[in-house]
Each structure stands twice: as structure tokens, then as C-alpha cells.
Amino acid sequence: MTGSLYIVATPLGNLGDLSPRAVSVLQTVALIAAEDTRHSQILCQHFDIRTPLLSLHDHNERARWEGLVARMQAGESIAVISDAGTPLISDPGYLLVRGARSAGLSVYAVAGPSAAIAALSVSGIPCDRFAFEGFPPAQASARRTLFEELARESRTLVFYESPHRIAAMVADLRDMFGSDREVALIREITKRFEEGMLMTLGELAARLGDHPVKGECVLVVRGAEVRELPNEGLRVLTILLKNLPLSQAVDLASHITGVSRKPLYAQALAWKDA
């Protein structure tokens, strides 16, 4: 019998958010691979989880994942947790999950908190279609280049950022996206001083300049409005969609009419979902 791998979501702050199933899994596996064992020890002590902990983070995962796969092949089950939320979402664990899948091992999700999803749900910004961008580059020039590329993205955008960089990040977003773009800043999710604010990028940049914030932050940015397409682009796209798969129709319509692919694709999706 081989063991299994469990990807276990842990609380963002409020310990009451750890599910009974998560507690049971963490108590019964042979090993818990944790991003920071010192941090996770507090969680384990609170729930009387006595399973051994092993560190698994960005700096050692490449060296450790094969050994962990071997232990599961030998019959041990292992759980992966991050410092908070769902593992692998801007956290380590990908190499281990990939290795387990490649070895034919069972990998199970023990669902629970995720900062990105939690922030979306309370943001007040459309969340039917969104793109998760994680932490933007720390270097200002690289960050601004990324934001320039995303400025015309029509989906809602979700970012993580640390409190000491949030003001600079929002200022760059304002410069690249425009002052009037709507944004929600959600911080300290589920913790004592949880706070959410919905305003424009210009208003938020001014506020952060005067009132620095503390705690981990999630930014939810409204997507760009899809500009009205030329009639020729709409006409060609309509014809092609009757006979071709969506992506192929969009590519061909863009090639024929010279209209950018992105607004054509957004329009095709809108028609499909209507």
C-alpha cells in the first residue's frame, strides 16, 4: 500500500476556520510538511496535533520533494500546509504535488481558507471572471512593466502585497491603470483588525500616502472596460463563431480585420455566456 498526499488549507488568522476534516488529516498522517515549522507548531499545539513537522519552503523544496515522494511510495501519508490559507497559492508545494502525481500517488485537497477567494467575496467588485496575479515584482521597473501589460485586462485582477510595499504598488497601479479605476483593499482577513475599503486607485494612493497600513494585504482591481468594437470586427466574428471554435474564430477575425485579439476574445466570451 502506498501513502497519499493531502494539501491542507489552514486558517488565515481565525483558528476557528480550521475544518474538522483538516484536524483529522493532520492528526493521522505520518508527517506534516510545513512552510515554517515554528509558525505551524502554534496551530498544531492549539488542536493537539502531535504529528512530526518538516520544513518545506521555496529554498529547500527542490532538494526534498523526491525524498517525500519516496516516503509515500513506502506507505506513509503526508500533509502539506503553508503559513496561512491554501498551499501552493503563492506558496511552496508545486514540485511535491507534481512529483506525487507523476509517481501515480493519490493527491487530495482538504479545502478551506484562501486569501484571494475570501477577498474577492467581500470586495464589492465583479468576481465572476478574475485573474490571480499573486505578488507583483518588488523592483519598481519590473512592477510597472507588468502593470502596463495588465492595464487592458478585462477580468478582475487579484494581487497580494506586503504592507511596506503596498503604497508604492498602488501608486504604480494608478499610473498604469488610471486614477479612476476601482479597487478594493482587504487586509488582515479574519483577524481582529480586518479591514476592507472600496474606492478608486487615485483615492487609495492618496490615503496610503497619509495612512500607512499594517498586515498582509489583498488588492482586488476592477478589470478594464471592453471598448466598443468596430462593426466590421463584430460582423466577421459573428460569422466565424457559427462555424469555428471560439479561440480559432477570434484569431482569424483578428487577422482578417486587424482588430486586437483581446477585445474580440472578450466579446466572444460575453456572447457565449449570455
| DSSP 8-class letter at 223 | P
Q: How far is CA 9 from CA 25, 89, 137, 258, in A?
A: 11, 10, 25, 46
| pTM of the complete model | 0.81
> Domain residues of the chain, as ranges?
4-113, 116-221, 231-273
| Mean per-residue pLDDT over the chain, rounded | 94
Per-residue pLDDT tens for 145-200?
999 989 888 899 999 999 999 999 999 999 999 999 999 999 999 999 999 999 99
Domain over 4-113 is classified CATH 3.40.1010.10: yes
Question: Cell triple for residue 223?
Answer: 478589470
- Asked if the model's pLDDT at residue 274 lies above 70, the reply is no
Residue 160 DSSP one-character state? E
Match domain 116-221 to its CATH number in 3.20.20.150, 3.30.950.10, 3.30.160.620, 3.40.190.10: 3.30.950.10
